[in-house]
Structure 1
Amino acid sequence: MTNTVPVSSTESSPRRSASIVDDDEAIEVATRLAHEFAAGASDRDRDRLLPWRELEAFAASGLWSITVPRAHGGPGLSNRTLAQVIAIIGGADGSLSQIPQNHYYALEVLRVGGSEEQKRFFYDRVLSGERFGNALAEVGQRDFTRRTRLVRGEGGAFVEGRKFYCTGALYAHWIPTLAVAQEDGRQTSYLVFVPRNAPGMTITDDWDGFGQRVTGSGSVEFEHVRIEPEWIVPFQASFDRPTTIGPQAQLMHAAIDLGIGLGAYREMLAFIRDRSRPWIDAKVERAVDDPLTLYGVGEVKLRLRAAEALLMRAAALVDFAQLDMTEETVAAASIAVAEAKILSTKAGLLAGTKLFELAGTSSTLSEDNLDRYWRNVRTHTLHDPVRWKYQAIGNYYLSGKLPPRHGAI
């Protein structure tokens, strides 16, 4: 489905976010919302119904502002809580757990590289209920002439280019955009916060992947879009030194995969208990007594629990690194997150597959739409290749080589 979206027709007036004061409240709110979101998740996925109402409730709950630092009026909650919130929502609807990932990412870029004036302005926007999307990925990233550019001249500063896979852009009030510029003979990059109603910007709802169908991951085109200097935040500079932008981003991706896997696991348990039949050779009356089914359920649970444990360990190391961003602390956090991402990928995919293997043929009926779990986790786990994470981990432990600094490790 392709739909070019007139920005003025879909722009929503934000509601000021509720104030969440601590970690326990954030988990409680996320759990309540997940229960509400789960009710319509299958229909939204099957019919590609964009979750506007759910997103409004999600943002207004205060969960979208939990990483705003306390110094700027937010609760400044831990990455452990952030990962838990994402996983809880992901268990109900994988798309809804992915949509705010780039919102939190932009908040971390601001924390690390933004000026105090930029932090005050944008953090206040978030506390007022506004949402960030993203316009990062694009075709031809290695060719400067084809990349989205930040152009400065006598008439001001402008963004020109085209982006794809812009998760959350469709629903956002601001679209943080990665743009490159030639300055003093070298290429550098910025994260430019472009308001949704900026003249010359077009959002096209053309995401047609078989999973994560309602993430709003379409395309964004910029035709000489004028932007204000205070909307331009240094980006490359935040990777020229050790920062937690990359590990925090990957932590959230791991949490999304874990959450979808947990959702698949719960569906599997319910189906086996209520609808599955035991295999004839098991010589039992109920599927819940089939010994090989029990083995499979235990295997999935163990993998998910291990992934969750590694995720929580990684989150603690990201928290520690944020307090003191050095080569050593950021590298340790990055490697811990890579370990968690490998296991969350494997555990999520296993849960999505075993749901059908253990529940049986009747679990494939289209009316149940249970394949959305496998489709969602398979789609999202392709965000970056885990095979490269093994290589980074091996290099770190064997040779003491620090992992690269970017958002995919």
Structure 2
Amino acid sequence: MTISQVKTDDAAKAVPPVARPTEPAHIIKSDAEAIAVAKKLAAEFIKDSAKRDRERIWPAAELDAFSQSGLWSINVPKKFGGPEVSYATLAKVIEIISAADSSIGQVAQNHLGVVAAIRTVSDEAQQKLLFGEVLKGTRFGNAFSEFGSKRAVDFETRFTDGGDHVIVKGQKFYSSGALLAHLVPIVALDDEGRAWYAIADRGAPGLTVIDDWSSFGQRTTLSGTVIIDNVTVPKTHLVPGYKGYDKPTADGAIFQIIQVAVDTGIAQAAIDETIDFVRTKSRAWVDSGLERASDDPYTIQAVGDLTLRLHAAQALLEKAGYAIDRAVANPTEDSVAEAQIVTAEAKILSTEIAIAATNKLFELAGTRSTLAEHNLDRHWRNARTHTLHDPVRWKYAILGKYFLNGEKPPLHAWS
């Protein structure tokens, strides 16, 4: 796609914007409260998660509850009235929500990543303005990636200077959360080829979000095609995202750790479903001589192995969160590299356990677990889809280069 080829034929299929919240969002007071609120929300979100996936029902009410709970502002700095919880806590929050419904967990990931980027690259006036929006309950969606470019970092969406505003033109495809967002950060290039976040109002003229996400997994992430046809964005909302990667910062690791947390959440959900099904519905194998499937020694070993590997991934996830905290507080080449490396390790293990646990579910639970009424395949579909975000085969290369030759990871959102 080139800018001159941006298609506006489907503009009539635009999903209308949603209203801003009428009441200010709650503000979390501590890390412990963040975890407690996440658990309370997850207990509600899990109830209809299978139905939402099966019928592709948007989690509109759930999303409102999530963002109004205060969990969407947990990485706003204390200086601006935010909770500024540890990134270990933030990752645990996303994991808890994702275990209940991984699509809802993913919807928040780019919002939280943009909040982190604003802290890194914006001046104080812009931080005060945008963090104020977040603390009120305003949700950021995203319009980052493009469909037809050769590489994920090759952007064709651009903006031109209009005085006190910029005019943005382009087209995006992977846009989790954009359908029900209040503001949509658009990655667009300036005349020098530098990437900025042009944060447009969801209802801005020329901004069209189309509900055409057709993946077999993560079906209700509120993603779709975003058409940006001469959209006006005030310069107050033009964030110099490129500055987060022209020197060592934790921005890339922050985007990555949220991805990891979604995957450990999916793995947790799959293991929980396996245990419940084996205990309540599965039959013991004919040759086992056992009365209960849960007494099968091979099943016991397999569940132990899966749980061990999940705990290893979760331990690295927590370790990565604290490494990111250190890199945010003191961003040096070494502290940022440490955060990237531990996060890459966690990404490898979380991908492997998400795929293994969602596949093993059916082997251990048995044939009846494949019945459509249970919709257990959603966990495998979600794991297979979400873990494709960036290939773990390249994470191994990053680790090998670092530990063998002392080569630090590249600075971008996929590393």
Which of the five TM-score ranges fits, normalised by the shorter chain? Answer: over 0.9
1:236–1:141 CA distance, 2 compared to 1 (3 A): farther
Residue 294 in 1 paired to residue 300 in 2?
yes
CA–CA separation in structure 2 for the residues paired with 1:42 and 1:68: 32
Residue 311 of structure 1: which of 294, 309, 317 is its match? 317
- Which residue does the alignment assign to 1:53? 61
Alignment of 1:47-86 (within 5 A): 47-86=55-94
Equivalent position SS for 1:159: strand
- Which residue does the alignment assign to 2:231? 225
Equivalent position SS for 2:46: helix
Equivalent position SS for 1:187: coil
- Which residue does the alignment assign to 2:201? 195
CA–CA separation in structure 2 for the residues paired with 1:124 and 1:232: 16
1:64–1:171 CA distance, 2 compared to 1 (3 A): same
Give how far 1:283 is off. 1.5
Give how far 1:152 is off. 1.5
- 8 Å Cα contact 2:155-2:189 kept in structure 1: no
Give how far 1:329 is off. 0.5
1:278–1:117 CA distance, 2 compared to 1 (3 A): same
- 8 Å Cα contact 1:242-1:330 kept in structure 2: yes
Instruction: After superposing the two structures, state which structure 1 stretch, 137-146 or 119-128, moved more.
Output: 137-146
- Which residue does the alignment assign to 2:258? 252
> Residues 75-103 of structure 1: CA distance to partner in whole angstroms, max 9, x if unpaired?
11110100000000011001010000000
- Which residue does the alignment assign to 2:358? 352
Residue 36 of structure 2: which of 28, 36, 41 is its match? 28
Q: What stretches of structure 1 move > 6 A for 4+ residues in a row?
A: 143-146
> Residues 246-303 of structure 1: CA distance to partner in whole angstroms, max 9, x if unpaired?
0011001000000011011101100000010111222211101111111111111111
1:76 aligned partner, one-letter code: E
CA–CA separation in structure 2 for the residues paired with 1:227 and 1:104: 21
- 8 Å Cα contact 1:14-1:129 kept in structure 2: no
Alignment of 1:107-186 (within 5 A): 107-141=115-149, 147-153=156-162, 156-182=165-191, 186=192
Equivalent position SS for 1:212: coil
CA–CA separation in structure 1 for the residues paired with 2:96 and 2:21: 27
- Which residue does the alignment assign to 1:325? 331
Could you tell me which runs of 5 or more consecutive residues in structure 2 were left unpaired when the two chains were aligned. 1-9
Give how far 1:313 is off. 0.8
- 8 Å Cα contact 1:14-1:128 kept in structure 2: no
Residue 213 in 1 paired to residue 222 in 2?
no
- 8 Å Cα contact 1:95-1:214 kept in structure 2: yes
CA–CA separation in structure 1 for the residues paired with 2:14 and 2:20: 13
CA–CA separation in structure 2 for the residues paired with 1:74 and 1:146: 32
Residue 391 of structure 1: which of 389, 392, 397 is its match? 397
Could you tell me which runs of 5 or more consecutive residues in structure 1 were left unpaired when the two chains were aligned. none
Instruction: After superposing the two structures, state which structure 1 stretch, 230-239 or 135-144, moved more.
Output: 135-144
- 8 Å Cα contact 2:107-2:221 kept in structure 1: yes
- Which residue does the alignment assign to 2:27? 19
CA RMSD for the aligned pairs? Answer: 1.6
CA–CA separation in structure 2 for the residues paired with 1:291 and 1:328: 46
- Which residue does the alignment assign to 2:241? 235
1:99–1:280 CA distance, 2 compared to 1 (3 A): same
TM-score when normalising by structure 2 = 0.95
Equivalent position SS for 1:165: coil
